[in-house]
Structure formats: C-alpha cells, structure tokens
Amino acid sequence: MSQLAFWRSGSTRVLPGFGLSMGISVLFISLVLLLPITGLFGQLANLSLAEYFAIITEGRVVASYMVTIGAAAVAALVNAVFGLLLAWVLVRYEFPGKRLLDALMDLPFALPTAVAGITLATLYAGNGWVGNIIEPMGFQVAYTWVGIALAMAFTSIPFVVRTVQPVLEDLPAEVDEAAMSLGATDGVAFRRVIMPHLWPALVTGTGLAFVRSLGEFGAIIFIAGNMPYETEITALMIFVKLQEYDYAGASAIASVVLFVSLALLLAINIWQGRFVRRLHGGKG
C-alpha cells in the first residue's frame, strides 16, 4: 500500500495533506474565479474578431479608457505618497488614537463603495460642505476627473498602507539610528537606507491600488457626472452595455480590463520576486 502511494506521488512528502488541501484550493478557485471568467469568454464567442475590435476601439469607449487610466494613475500616485506617510506615522510614532487610525485604514475595504460614492458626491457637490468652499475658489471636484481620482484614491488607499506597513515594521529603527550616527542627514538616510527597503512594497501597493482603481465602479459613478467622452469610466461603459442587453459588447470591454489588470499583476509579482531575492542575498 505504502509503496503504491509512494509510487503515485512520485516523491515522499513529510508535510501531510497536500492532496486534500490542493484539491480543495483548486476547486474553490475554479468555482469562484475561473468559472465566471470562462463565462465571460463564452460570451465573447458570439463576436467575430472584427466586431470585437470595433467594440473595444469605439471612440466613446477609448475615451473612457483614457479617463479611467489617467484618473487611476493620479489616484495611485497620490496614494503612494500619502499611503507611505500614513504607514510611516502608524509604525514609527506613538500617539493617542493610533489604534483607531489603524482600524480606520481598513474602512474603504469594509464600506460599500456606493456609500463612499454618495458621501463624496454630497460633500464635493456645489452645495456640499467642501464644494461650498472650494467651488467659489475655482476648483471643481464633483463631476470632473478630479472627482473620479478622488473616489479611486479613497477606495484604494488601504492597498498601499497595508503593503508598506509590515515592511516598515520589519525595518528596525536601529537602522535609521545607525545611518544618523554615521553622519547622514535625514534626507540621505531616507533615500539611501529606508527607501531601498520600502521600494518593492511601495511599488506593489501602488500597483495594486492602480489595478483596483481600474475596476472601481460604485464609488465613482455618483461623483463622476458621467458625461460621454469626458467623465465616463470603463466600468460604466460595461454597465451601459449591460443595460442595453448587449452582453457580448459588455464582455468585450470587460475582457480588456481583465487583460490589463492581469498583465499588471503578473508584472508586479515577477518584479517583486526578483527584488526580494536580491535583498535576501540570493537565498530566497
């Protein structure tokens, strides 16, 4: 019996349960992830290649790509800066309310995005609390791409904070102290000692925030104004197609978002793996 099992698995594993846990994992991924994606491609089968390209290169849709990518890029960069700052504050300083702020970081994950969207829209609309003040000064946020970026930044900030935070915690304060005792100014110590450690996490977090922003829908539609060619996001284009019962068209646009996101995630993963290996002296 045992010889048979040995022959079947090809090698002995000391850690038990590989077959069972791997099987369940694959089943779960298939049901939750792969099956819906297959459905998406099933819909695509109704289109010819020419039709597919016509849909995804239509002017209004292309404009929506630009709006989405542009706003997502701005949101991701803003989050990179402020997310890093927040993570820094949360790790390096002790202050009253630290735990509360830490918990608040996850709020964008927990809050229904539509709630965030409505809140932001009412705040920044011309008659809202904030809009009231900034619109007379010439800044319009609601119903412009700035509003879109704002909503994206809101929903994706935890990605940056939560990826940078553990890396920063792992970096002992002694390292800053060592740099300072050797005469480094704060700026030099940050640039040459701290940043090289944070880079991978920061890029990963920013990348994740960017990808998340590409697909955000609920938080944005309320504040975006949704003017064709100007403030329409790609997710909205999918929604519009669906409302017109154009399932194939919706799937075509969705597939573009899917490919872009997948490619980005893959790139981030590979790049990060390489960086981490270097940091650990080629050992892992």
Partner 1 sequence: MSIRLQNIAKHFANTQALEPINLDIHEGELVGLLGPSGSGKTTLLRIIAGLENADRSPQPGKILFGDRDVTNVHVRDRRIGFVFQHYALFRHMSVYDNVAFGLTVMPKKRRPSSGEIRARVFRLLEMVQLQHLANRLPAQLSGGQQQRVSLARALAVEPDVLLLDEPFGALDAKVRQDLRRWLRRLHDELNFTSVFVTHDQEEALELSDRVVVMSNGRIEQIDTPDTLYRAPKNRFVFEFLGDVNHLEGRVRDGVLTCGDAHLNVDLPDGDEELLLRPHEVRLAEEPSPESHLPVTITAISPVGAEVRVELEADWLAKPWQATVRHADFERLHMRRGQRLFAHPRQWHRFKEDAKTPEQQARVA
* Residue (21 or 185) nearer to partner 1, CB: 185
203: number of CA atoms within 13 Å, CB side?
A: 16
The contact pattern for partner 1, residues 133-172, with x = CB under 8 A and - = no contact, is ---------------------------------------x
171: which DSSP letter?
S
Q: Which stretch binds partner 1 (CB under 8 A): 81-89, 159-167, 254-262, 273-281?
A: 273-281
Helix axes 145-170, 113-124, angle to 10 degrees: 120
User: Which of 24, 104, 178, 270 is close enough to bind partner 1 by CB under 8 A?
Assistant: 178
User: Which of 35, 85, 175, 262 is close enough to bind partner 1 by CB under 8 A?
Assistant: 175
Residue ranges in 45-144 assigned as alpha helix (H): 49-56, 59-92, 98-104, 107-110, 113-124, 129-134
* Residue (36 or 172) nearer to partner 1, CB: 172
* Residue (17 or 282) nearer to partner 1, CB: 282
| Chain centroid, CA 62 distance in Å | 21
- Site membership for partner 1, residue 192 (CB under 8 A): yes
* Cβ atoms 258, 37 nearer than 8 A: yes
Q: Which stretch binds partner 1 (CB under 8 A): 7-15, 42-50, 193-201, 241-249?
A: 193-201
* Cβ atoms 212, 163 nearer than 8 A: no
- Site membership for partner 1, residue 203 (CB under 8 A): no
User: Which of 188, 263, 266, 270 is close enough to bind partner 1 by CB under 8 A?
Assistant: 188
* Cβ atoms 142, 121 nearer than 8 A: yes
The tokens describing 142, both together, are 């609601």
Q: Which stretch binds partner 1 (CB under 8 A): 16-24, 75-83, 150-158, 183-191?
A: 183-191
* Residue (184 or 265) nearer to partner 1, CB: 184
195: which DSSP letter?
H
User: Which of 184, 248, 264, 265 is close enough to bind partner 1 by CB under 8 A?
Assistant: 184
d(CA 103, CA 268): 27
Residue written as token pair 């045992």:
2
- Site membership for partner 1, residue 281 (CB under 8 A): yes
Q: Which residues bind partner 1 (CB under 8 A)?
A: 172, 174-175, 177-185, 188, 192-193, 196-197, 278-283
